[in-house]
Each structure stands twice: as C-alpha cells, then as structure tokens.
Amino acid sequence: MLKLPRKTVINFVLPALAVLLVFNFLSCFKNPVQKTFKPHLSLIGLVKRELLGIVFYHRNMVLADKLQTDVNLLRWRLFDFRELSQENARLTNLLNFKQKSSLRLVAAKVIGRSIDSWSSSVIIDKGRYNGIKTGMAVVSPQGLVGSIVESSENTAKVLLINDPNQGVSGIVQRTRQEGLVSGTLGTSLIMRYLLDDAAIMAGDIIVTSELSQIYPKGLLVGRVVKIGREFSGLNRYALVKPVVDLANIEEVLIIIP
C-alpha cells in the first residue's frame, strides 16, 4: 500500500477533501434555494426587462424628435427655395415687361396693405427720392393696378382700382364702347354709363381709354363677367374681373411721365 508523505497529505489532500465536502454540502441546498428565490428572480428579470424597455423607448423618442427636427428643417428649406423661385419668376417677368415697354418705369415692392374695410390700398418702398409723385399710374406686367395718392421721401401709397374712390375711363376692346370703371371693394370692378344698346358681352376685354388723364390708353383692366341694368333703366353696367390679383400683388411698376 502506497503511503503518502505527511507533508503532502497536509498541503494537498486535506484541502482537496475540504473543497469536495463544501460542494457536496451546497449541492444539497441547491434545489431548495432555487425554489425559494425563483419568484424573486423572476420579478427581478421582469423589472430588468421593463427598465431596458424604458431605456430603449426613451432612446427612440430622442431619435424620433431629432428626425422630426430634421424633417421640419428640410421643409423650411424647401419652402424658402419655393419662395425664392417664385420671387425670381415674378422679378424676371417684371424686368422683361420693363425692358419691352416704351414707358419709363420704376419697380417697387409692396411693403404694407390697408387693414380697414372701406378702402383698398398698398404701401410701396419707393417715394419722392425715386421720383414718385402723386397722380402717377401704377401697373404690373398683367395690367392696371392703381395710382399714387400719397408720396413721402421713401414710400408711397397706391390706391388700387378696386377702391370705390378710384375711377378709370375704360373702353371695350372689341367694340370701342366707353364707360367709367370704378371699384367695389370686392373682387370685381363695375363699368357704368353704358348705353342701353351698347355692344358688350361677358368675356369682353376692358382697357384704359385715351380720355383718362392719369393712365395711358391701352392698359389692360379686366374682363367682363356679367351684364346688368341700372335701377334707372336708362343705362346698363358690366361687372369686370381685374386681370391683376390685387389681394396678393407683391411688386409693381410706377409709370414716370
């Protein structure tokens, strides 16, 4: 029989036996411990999953907010691009009209509008410093806009043709029938003092006549949309839709005599 040295037994064998005894002892309690703490371990696992879910949700919300901010920024950039593109098209049209016209014209931007309900006017960014004076005609590439009624050093007030105090001597382009065109504060103008047998119909084009003291003849005013009879029964009238979108006009041209 092999006999181990005393020193070997003390240093190696006894510690190994002690470790084996401890593992055997703990294995006896393994199943009871698991059974005892299993509900708690399950609860801890559930809490862990919920916490991870909250973390992921918060991270996704932050990411979604960033993406929404980026989308809004792109939308604003697209809006700015469209606005600049539309402005460029309007200014190009204005320049082309100015170059082709035989009239002496000064371009101006609309910087203000009347806010009351009994007048129709706009403020432009050109005034006496630019040679703008009261009584000058105001047009756009589409047609007649109005006339200057007030002028300061750097701004001027334009009374639009749809103001009731504005009067334009007009003529039916097709038949040369004349009448007085004035504003109604609405989307239409009214052409009065038409003879009962006047040759005029819906669709006819109205232009300024040579009788006007402010406006050059031949400026496009609008198109007839309806014919009616005055209360007196002696004359007829015509409702005329302006060719210029007066409610949204942004740039104009002033005719310098």
Q: Single out the residue in 57, 78, 100 at which a domain terminates.
A: 100
Look at the chain and report how many structural domains it folds into: 2
One domain, residues 169 and 213: yes
Q: Single out the residue in 50, 73, 100 at which a domain terminates.
A: 100
One domain, residues 40 and 161: no
One domain, residues 181 and 65: no
At residue 19, the pLDDT reads 46
One domain, residues 134 and 205: yes
One domain, residues 141 and 249: yes
Residue 10 lies in a domain: no
More confident residue, 79 or 247: 247
Instruction: Measure the CA–CA gap between 223 and 238, rounded to whole angstroms.
Output: 10
Whether residue 102 is predicted with pLDDT greater than 60 in this model: the reply is yes
One domain, residues 89 and 121: no
Query: DSSP assignment of the chain, as one string?
Result: -----HHHIIIIIHHHHHHHHHHHHHHHHHHHHHHHHHHHHHHHHHHHHHHHHHHHHHHHHHHHHHHHHHHHHHHHHHHHHHHHHHHHHHHHHHHHHHHH-SS-EEEEEEEEE--SSS--EEEES--GGGT--TT-EEE-SSSEEEEEEEE-SS-EEEEETTSTT-EEEEEETTT--EEEEEE-SSS-EEEEEEETT----TT-EEEE-TT-SSSPTT-EEEEEEEEEE-TTSSEEEEEEEESS-TTT--EEEEEP-
Residue 182 lies in a domain: yes
Instruction: Measure the CA–CA gap between 192 and 225, rounded to whole angstroms.
Output: 14
Residue 27 lies in a domain: no
One domain, residues 203 and 95: no
Mean pLDDT estimate for the chain: 80
One domain, residues 92 and 127: no
One domain, residues 64 and 189: no
At residue 98, the pLDDT reads 74
Full domain range(s) for residue 249: 105-257
Residue 122 lies in a domain: yes
Tokens in use for 143? Answer: 């047609």
One domain, residues 70 and 176: no
CATH for 135: 2.40.10.340
pTM value > 0.85: no
One domain, residues 141 and 232: yes
Residue 80 lies in a domain: yes
One domain, residues 112 and 234: yes
The 10s digit of each residue's pLDDT in 28-87 is 544 554 455 455 446 555 555 656 666 667 677 777 777 777 777 777 776 666 767 676
Q: Single out the residue in 53, 69, 100 at which a domain terminates.
A: 100
Residue 8 lies in a domain: no
